[in-house]
Amino acid sequence: MATLEINVSRVTERAVSEAPWLRRLLVGIALVFLLAFLLVPLFLVFREAFSQGARVYLAALSNPDARHAIKLTLTAAAVAVPLNVIFGLAAAWAISKFRFRGKQVMITLIDLPFAVSPVIAGLIYVLLFGSRGWLGPWLENNGLHIIYAVPGIVLATVFVTFPFVARELIPVMQEQGVTHEEAALTLGAGGWQTFWRVTLPSVKWGLLYGVILCNARAMGEFGAVSVVSGHIRGKTNTLPLHVEILYNEYEFAAAFACASLLALLAVATLIAKSALEYKHQRDRERSLRAAARQEEP
């Protein structure tokens, strides 16, 4: 009995996977590609960052202007990401679970912020909120500042990261269809309950990727934010803008130090994701084992 099982699993293993040489080749190609396009540029950034030693590196990061920039960057991301998560879930739900006219247009509209050049992304807010813009005079009369102040930076960040969560969720939800939700609803679950207990768990990886991408992009955005920031030191400079300032002051090591910090922030979120994934896998294995034990007798 036992041997038969092993044979079967070996046969299916062969049928659903590739020959070892092909596997190695594919891994090899993928790694070479990533090495050339990601690892080497990243290495360069870190090499430059430490080119004048760790002291300069740490000094660059503990400078008050840098610290303020880090804080502002984190603030912008902390507002933009949750907003876009809520939107992403709503949009993906509507688009993947229902049929309606204009769905294509809706999806394409969601993609559009990607296609908008950062130069334009900043400009549109200037056209709206600038002192010669549509709402500018009104804002000025009420003493409100949007552009060249923190709200403008947050808005620009929301705009450039707008599509991430939605676009990550839509294909995953479409893949899954509606059968699970329908089953839950037939069994008497409420709408929100179905969403929390059935839909959300099944799309959590897609959601997580979306959040991670959204967050990474929110922290790294340069072009659009640069247009609406006004570059006031210690006030409206985000970390990417601070990098530019340092680079333009010929403080190359300090500039790359701040850039490397952004890379590290991104990698840190990814490590958090990996840890979650690992825990999730272990939990599943444990419950599978428990289930197997129950079935044994």
Partner 1 sequence: MNWKTWLAAATLGLALGQTALADREILNVSYDPTRELYEAFNKKFTEHWKQETGETITVRQSHGGAGKQTRAIIDGLEADVATLALAYDIDAISEKTGIIPGDWQTRLPHNSAPYTSTIVFLVREGNPKNLKDWDDLLKPGVEVITPNPKTSGGARWNYLAAWAYAEKKYGSEEKARQFVGKLYKQVPVLDSGARGATTTFVKRGIGDVLLAWENEALLSINKLGRGDFEIVVPSISILAEPPVTVLDKNAEKHGTTDIAKAYLDYLYSPVGQELAGKNYYRPVDPEYASKYAGTFPEVNLVTVNEAFGGWQNAQRTHFNDGGVFDQIYKPE
Partner 2 sequence: MAKRVIPGFGLSLGFATFYTSLIVFIPLAALFAKGLSLGGADLWRVVSDPQALASYKLSFGAALAGALINLLFGGLVAWVLVRYAFPGKRIVDALVDLPFALPTAVAGIALTELYGRNGWFGAPLGELGLKVAYTPIGVTVALTFIGLPFVVRTVQPVLAGLDRELEEAAASLGADRWQTFRRVLFPALLPAALTGFALAFARAVGEYGSVVFISGNMPFRTEITPLLIYSKLEQYDYAAASALGMVMLLFSFVLLLLINGLQFWTVKRAGG
Residues within the interface to partner 1 (CB under 8 A): 126, 129-133, 136, 140, 145, 147-148, 226-227, 230-235, 245, 247-250, 252
Kindly write out the interface string for residues 142-161 of this chain, putting x where it contacts partner 2 by CB under 8 A and - elsewhere.
-------------x--xx--
Based on the shown chain and the rule CB under 8 A, indicate whether residue 167 belongs to the binding site for partner 2. yes
Based on the shown chain and the rule CB under 8 A, indicate whether residue 290 belongs to the binding site for partner 2. no
Based on the shown chain and the rule CB under 8 A, indicate whether residue 1 belongs to the binding site for partner 2. no
Which one of residues 136, 151, 223, 230 is an interface residue with partner 2 (CB under 8 A)? 223
Q: Binding partner of residue 233 among partner 2, partner 1, none, CB under 5 to 8 Å per kind?
A: partner 1
Q: Which is nearer to partner 2, 72 or 297 (CB)?
A: 72
Q: Binding partner of residue 108 among partner 2, partner 1, none, CB under 5 to 8 Å per kind?
A: partner 2
CA 137 to each of CA 125, 126, 260, 261: distance values in angstroms, whole numbers, following the listed order: 14, 12, 41, 39
- Using CB under 8 A as the binding rule, the residues of this chain from 49 to 78 that contact partner 2 are none
Given the structure tokens 């930076």, which residue do they identify?
Answer: 153
Cα distance between the two ends of the chain: 16
Q: Binding partner of residue 249 among partner 1, partner 2, none, CB under 5 to 8 Å per kind?
A: partner 1
Based on the shown chain and the rule CB under 8 A, indicate whether residue 212 belongs to the binding site for partner 2. yes
Which one of residues 1, 4, 6, 105 is an interface residue with partner 2 (CB under 8 A)? 105
Q: Which is nearer to partner 1, 175 or 249 (CB)?
A: 249
Based on the shown chain and the rule CB under 8 A, indicate whether residue 175 belongs to the binding site for partner 2. yes
Q: Binding partner of residue 290 among partner 2, partner 1, none, CB under 5 to 8 Å per kind?
A: none
Residue 209: exposed, middle, or buried by beta-carbon count in 10 A (0-12, 13-18, 19+)?
middle
CA 49 to each of CA 46, 85, 247: distance values in angstroms, whole numbers, following the listed order: 5, 34, 12
CA 48 to each of CA 37, 252, 297: distance values in angstroms, whole numbers, following the listed order: 18, 7, 63
CA distance 26 to 37: 17
Given the structure tokens 């990098």, which residue do they identify?
Answer: 243
CA distance 132 to 170: 39
Q: Binding partner of residue 25 among partner 1, partner 2, none, CB under 5 to 8 Å per kind?
A: none
Q: Which is nearer to partner 2, 186 or 294 (CB)?
A: 186
Cβ atoms within 10 Å, residue 200: 12
Sequence-distant (6+) residues with CB within 8 A of 58 are none
Given the structure tokens 């799309």, which residue do they identify?
Answer: 203
Span from 24-32, 63-71, 146-154, 287-295 in contact with partner 2 (CB under 8 A):
24-32
133-148: b or e for each residue (b if 16 or more CB lie within 10 Å)?
A: beebeebeeeeeebbb
Q: How far is the CB of 250 from partner 1 (least distance, A)?
A: 5
Based on the shown chain and the rule CB under 8 A, indicate whether residue 285 belongs to the binding site for partner 2. no
